[in-house]
Structure 1
Amino acid sequence: MKRYLYLLFICVYGVSCDRSPEKQLSRTEKRDQILKNIVPPKISENTMLLTKFGAVGDSLTDAKPAFDKAIEACREQKGGKIIVPPGTYIVNGPIHLTNNLCIELQKGAKLVFGSNPEDYLPAVLTSWEGTFLYNYSPFIYGYQLEDVAIIGEGVIDGNSRDSFSKWAENQKESQLLSRKMNHENTPLKERMFGKGHFLRPQLIQFFECKNILIEGVTIKNSPFWCVHFLKSENITARKVKFDAFNRNNDGFDPEYSKNVLIEDVDFNNGDDNVAIKAGRDHEGRRTGITSENIIIRNCRFKGLHGVVIGSEMSAGVQNVFVENCTASGYTKRGIYLKSNPDRGGFIRDIYVNNVSFADVEDCFFITSYYHGEGKGFETDIRNVFVDNVTCRKATNAGVVIQGYPSKKVRDIHFSNVKIDSAATGLSLSNAENIVFNNVIIGQEVKVPSHAK
């Protein structure tokens, strides 16, 4: 009797007896909720012509002083839009953005950055391959800003093929030092790189920024990653064109960032088209800011890899949507999720829908043992949903899943996938609950033959 009265009490006085689970949102409902939180910044109506500040688009005159003056005017006036008219503008040093600023590159306008490393000093706070440090300034740099935009039909040329790009041959010592500082939790003020080191700067970086728009421009010849969204949120990138073939010329690299929309973009990159990251190893786990709510849709992929998650993803990546995209030419890997047991973190709730690839090495590749190295911090990879994906030819493999013995990749769902030709159809190891529904790799087998 006492037990009955106790149960009656908790049901009447606020503890629900209904144990039915909450309704799970569908993929489209989840995506649409995210889209509601991505709103481009409002562009200021306070317009300023760059040439009024002394810029000359003659391929000779340094336009950096004009940019500095125009941006200072925008800062004093609490916002503005700098219009860059047709012409070729040499910029010998970085453009440091301010709040409530839009730079509009009109059709026929081209920014060509100078190649003297001294011009990109003093060093600024940035990140390099998932480790925070001080380094040469990104060529276009926004730090702790709100409401910033780069728009128009002009060109941003990093002009780095014969200068910064070649530093990759000499970067190893500094690269390893940065990783050592990461693992040893070296104080940030002691992580001074820049002069005497060979860590290439990014072309464009938004660091701890909110409300970002990059639209319409063509980006080429970057010293390192093309566009790096670092610890930023509410980002819209649309109708951008890439023509970037230097080493590590990723297109977009969202890192520790959320609420990101990448749409209607023409990629043509020497490296990853989109590479989603969330910090490296110890520092990434300490920072603990997940990259999440990222939508990539209606894009044209071309380059090394289509969409990559990792390998620097130690704080975790979740809620990524790749929709209605196509690829042309050869792509080494279409969809590539990569980590290793140095990283930790997780990759989960990834949705790939209505995507077509032409020729690839591997169409879909998940690995928990990238570069065959690492120990102690296995990554949890699960809840990946692939639907309506086609591929013409995979010279290596159609689907590869490589988990780790102590933490298997699990709950991966393939539906309506057609790969016309593959040297290896499936390669699955340390994986569980891998579900296939209407999947054909190679020539479809129809009515079975019969003995005559």
Structure 2
Amino acid sequence: MGDWSRADAIVARVARPRFPDREFPVTAFGARGDGRTDCTAALRLAVAACAAAGGGHVTVPSGTYATGPVHLLSHVDLHLEEGARLLFDRDPAAYLPPVLTRFQGVEMYGYSPFVYARGQRNIAVTGRGMLDGHADDEHWWPWSGQAEFGWRPGIRQQEDDWPALWRQAEAGVPVERRIHADGCRFRPNFLEFQGCHGVLVEGVTIVRSPMWEIHPALCTGVLIQDVTIDSPGPNNDGIDPESCRDVVIRRCDIAAGDDCIAIKSGREADGRRVNVPSENIVIEDCVLRHRYGAITLGSDMTGGIRDVYVRRCRIGGPGLYFGLYIKTNSVRGGYAENIQLADLTVTHLRKEFLSCDFHRGEGDTGSYPPRVRDIGIRDVTVDHARRAVLARGYAHAPIDGLHLSDCHFGSLEESDRIEHVDGLVQERVTGTHGG
């Protein structure tokens, strides 16, 4: 079940970028780690000098450095030494002028992500320091529209601005005319890499993000390892590769405010326009703790997802909902093919280990029936979940090929719910339920 030699081949070719042995301390460019001095210009100068010299390491010594956005250039490693913290400005105006980004799978020009690169090669964020987005119930998070995170009636929020962006995408308005920044309530992602080759994020701790933490889009050769994410805010997905190829995520510890790792490929009309899948992705040896899907495909997956391998991960906690969560329907469309999971240890899930329900959200109201096939799950132990499997395809577009083997479910509250699934195979699957 599943050709795991392909996973090994992906790991072998996603190489760690190499950088010249040159250091550019930000303190040499005027930065002060006192938590008050604005170090935005010093960081920009250090990155530019490093790139002009042919690359190297922009080093951030121990201390707290107040800053606005950091834009990386080719062959630059932003290295945070132990005890270093980049503390990002809470003023949205600091993240202007707008840059090319994506919001919920739709391309636009919006507030700059806090750490950003576009069209660069061999870039990195490394070290044992901290990236602190400084978001809370009074800054950034209330824009989500969720009372849990500080929104109150009368506060402008993202759903007030979303219809205009969605209409532009549906009408095919050129991306450069989709400007939604100053005055809009689309929160920026924390680390975002647009159209880059050779991306490394290693060792750092990420806290208090406005929205998604690590978001490579249209990238190739992405390595994310030994990263700790602890950011419980709204839509605070941990790691979201979108329309990327050759991605390895390993030894990361994630407690997120939304999905821990969410693989995406664009949304609806814009996803069909860009039409680039996410493919060749390996997730291994991670700890995924909180909140919705541990491993999620979608819901922005119109461009398709294929060849995903997940192995040797520890999943679960009292606040985690799903193990594998596949989110699509006939409005979003797209496909998920050859998704393989093995050697997983799962403690506590509030809902299903595997959830793939085409009827969630908009139901069957669109013209783009999704394709989900060749899902393999083996050597999985789940201590507790609501169900082992919730799988509901459409009668006209069933889920095709769901294979579970050598899986043990210790305590289940309800029986599986399976509708319109062709090619269901269960071998040596054990468990109990109270349904």
- TM-score, structure 2 length as denominator? 0.94
Choose which of 366, 373, 380 in structure 2 pairs with 1:389: 380
Q: Does 1:37 align with 2:13?
A: yes
Whether the 8 Å CA contact 1:44–1:102 is kept in 2: the answer is no
Q: Equivalents in 1 of 2:19, 2:416: separation in Å?
A: 49
Q: Secondary structure at the match of 1:236?
A: strand
| Counterpart amino acid of residue 99 in structure 2 | V
Choose which of 85, 88, 109 in structure 2 pairs with 1:110: 85
Q: Equivalents in 1 of 2:290, 2:250: separation in Å?
A: 17
Whether the 8 Å CA contact 1:425–1:441 is kept in 2: the answer is no
Equivalent runs, 1:426-441 vs 2, <5 Å: 426-441=416-431
| Counterpart amino acid of residue 171 in structure 2 | E
**1:218-263 CA distances to partner (integer Å, 9 max, x unpaired)?**
0010001001010001011100001111101111000000100000
Choose which of 298, 302, 310 in structure 2 pairs with 1:322: 310
Whether the 8 Å CA contact 2:2–2:340 is kept in 1: the answer is no
Q: Secondary structure at the match of 2:164?
A: helix
Report what 2:101 is aligned to: 126
Q: Does 1:78 align with 2:54?
A: yes
Whether the 8 Å CA contact 1:338–1:369 is kept in 2: the answer is no
| Counterpart amino acid of residue 120 in structure 2 | L
Q: Equivalents in 1 of 2:316, 2:273: separation in Å?
A: 39
Whether the 8 Å CA contact 2:19–2:55 is kept in 1: the answer is no
Whether the 8 Å CA contact 2:2–2:338 is kept in 1: the answer is no
Q: Secondary structure at the match of 1:284?
A: helix
Q: Does 1:206 align with 2:206?
A: no
Q: Cα distance, 1:353 vs. partner?
A: 0.1
Q: Cα distance, 1:405 vs. partner?
A: 2.0
Report what 1:272 is aligned to: 259
Whether the 8 Å CA contact 1:130–1:312 is kept in 2: the answer is yes
Q: Secondary structure at the match of 2:397?
A: coil
Choose which of 225, 234, 244 in structure 2 pairs with 1:238: 225
Choose which of 227, 237, 250 in structure 2 pairs with 1:250: 237
| Counterpart amino acid of residue 126 in structure 1 | T
Q: Does 1:359 align with 2:348?
A: yes
Gaps of 5+ in 2: 146-156
**1:344-380 CA distances to partner (integer Å, 9 max, x unpaired)?**
2210100000111111121111122331433110100
| Counterpart amino acid of residue 327 in structure 1 | I
**1:271-291 CA distances to partner (integer Å, 9 max, x unpaired)?**
111000000012212211110
Q: Equivalents in 1 of 2:28, 2:162: separation in Å?
A: 42
- Identity, in percent, stands at 30
How many residues were matched structurally? 418
**1:292-347 CA distances to partner (integer Å, 9 max, x unpaired)?**
00000000111112000001101110000010000242211111011010122210
**Bigger CA radius of gyration:** 1
Q: Secondary structure at the match of 1:36?
A: helix
Q: Equivalents in 2 of 1:39, 1:306: separation in Å?
A: 25
Choose which of 133, 146, 149 in structure 1 pairs with 2:124: 149
Q: Secondary structure at the match of 1:307?
A: strand
Q: Equivalents in 2 of 1:370, 1:323: separation in Å?
A: 27
Q: Does 1:220 align with 2:220?
A: no
Whether the 8 Å CA contact 1:311–1:370 is kept in 2: the answer is no
Whether the 8 Å CA contact 2:133–2:208 is kept in 1: the answer is yes
Choose which of 296, 299, 302 in structure 2 pairs with 1:308: 296
Report what 2:149 is aligned to: none
Q: Cα distance, 1:390 vs. partner?
A: 1.2
| Counterpart amino acid of residue 91 in structure 2 | N
Q: Secondary structure at the match of 1:51?
A: helix
Q: Equivalents in 2 of 1:196, 1:59: separation in Å?
A: 27
Q: Equivalents in 1 of 2:167, 2:359: separation in Å?
A: 20
Q: Does 1:339 align with 2:328?
A: yes
Equivalent runs, 1:167-182 vs 2, <5 Å: 167-169=143-145, 170-182=157-169
Most deviating of 153-162 and 171-180: 171-180
Q: Equivalents in 2 of 1:416, 1:251: separation in Å?
A: 29
Q: Equivalents in 2 of 1:83, 1:340: separation in Å?
A: 46
- Could you list the structure 1 runs, at least 4 aligned residues long, displaced by more than 4 angstroms after superposition: none
**1:64-96 CA distances to partner (integer Å, 9 max, x unpaired)?**
1110110111232121211111001111x2111
Whether the 8 Å CA contact 2:309–2:341 is kept in 1: the answer is yes
Q: Equivalents in 1 of 2:198, 2:366: separation in Å?
A: 38
Q: Cα distance, 1:418 vs. partner?
A: 1.0
Choose which of 54, 65, 70 in structure 1 pairs with 2:41: 65
Q: Equivalents in 1 of 2:142, 2:332: separation in Å?
A: 28
Whether the 8 Å CA contact 1:138–1:204 is kept in 2: the answer is yes
Q: Secondary structure at the match of 1:392?
A: strand
Q: Cα distance, 1:431 vs. partner?
A: 1.3
Report what 1:15 is aligned to: none
Q: Equivalents in 1 of 2:129, 2:295: separation in Å?
A: 26
Equivalent runs, 1:15-34 vs 2, <5 Å: 27-34=3-10
Whether the 8 Å CA contact 2:2–2:376 is kept in 1: the answer is no
Whether the 8 Å CA contact 1:389–1:418 is kept in 2: the answer is yes
Report what 2:359 is aligned to: 369
Q: Equivalents in 2 of 1:354, 1:364: separation in Å?
A: 15
Q: Equivalents in 2 of 1:443, 1:73: separation in Å?
A: 62
| Counterpart amino acid of residue 313 in structure 1 | M
